[in-house]
């Protein structure tokens, strides 16, 4: 006659309550899913949110770019004031480019140039606020967003360059005159204006084509 196995042997000390509790224990295997609030979401399907690192102390590299733009802008304006006569063009590449000294008392394209003088402080205040914003934003901009940071640095250098003109002279010094003979003339501008225009174009390109790629 075979001996009973140890598991089938009754335990005389077990009470009916203990047997009832043992029968309620769930010994089924737990599913290998991530604890995401849903027991049907596998761990392999979890999406990782990329960590965006800011420029931080590397913003000083972009400040250096702004400083280079500022130095070139002020140096070329000094050359224009020293070597050119007001509103007398000097041909450089005929019939497309002249050096022509001009003063802009307003904003771009001489906007509000004929106002009563208050525009000097208005545009100076705007340039100061923009410059402070760009200084702070360059620190917080994503480190991988090279085109964005370069665009911000160019705009910052140009904004400070024209701000210095307004505070020192009451007007912005322009000297680059692009035209097509006497048929078409583009408003006279300077290096600071070039920095602002190119910088804004870079920022727009980053916003349209590169910003979403950094979030993937």
What distance in Å separates the CA atoms of residue 197 and residue 189, rounded to the nearest whole number? Answer: 11
Burial (0-12, 13-18, 19+ Cβ within 10 Å), 194: middle
CA 100 to chain centre: 34
Report cis status (omega within 30 of 0) of the bond before 129. no
| HSE of 204, CA atoms in CB hemisphere, 13 A | 6
Catalytic residue, chosen from 26, 114, 165, 174, is: 174
The answer to whether 182 is a known catalytic residue is: no
Is 73 catalytic? The answer is no
Question: Which residue in the list 73, 165, 193, 206 is annotated as catalytic?
Answer: 193
Q: Point out the residues that are catalytic.
A: 174, 193
């Amino acid at each position: 006659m075979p001996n009973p196995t140890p598991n089938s042997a009754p335990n005389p000390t077990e009470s009916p309550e203990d047997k009832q509790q043992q029968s309620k224990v769930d010994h089924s295997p737990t599913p290998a899913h991530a604890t995401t609030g849903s027991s049907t979401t596998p761990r392999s399907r979890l999406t990782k949110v990329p960590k965006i690192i800011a420029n931080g102390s590397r913003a000083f590299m972009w400040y250096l770019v702004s400083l280079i733009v500022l130095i070139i802008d002020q140096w070329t304006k000094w050359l224009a004031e020293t070597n050119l006569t007001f509103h007398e063009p000097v041909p450089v590449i005929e019939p497309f480019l002249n050096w022509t000294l001009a003063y802009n008392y307003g904003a771009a394209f001489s906007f509000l140039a004929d106002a009563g003088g208050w525009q000097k402080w208005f545009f100076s205040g705007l340039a100061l606020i923009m410059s402070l914003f760009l200084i702070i934003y360059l620190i917080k901009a994503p480190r991988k967003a090279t085109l964005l940071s370069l665009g911000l640095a160019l705009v910052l250098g140009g904004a400070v360059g024209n701000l210095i003109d307004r505070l020192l002279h009451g007007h912005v010094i322009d000297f680059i005159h692009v035209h097509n003979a006497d048929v078409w003339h583009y408003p006279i501008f300077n290096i600071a204006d070039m920095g602002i225009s190119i910088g804004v174009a870079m920022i727009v390109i980053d916003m349209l084509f590169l910003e979403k790629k950094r979030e993937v």
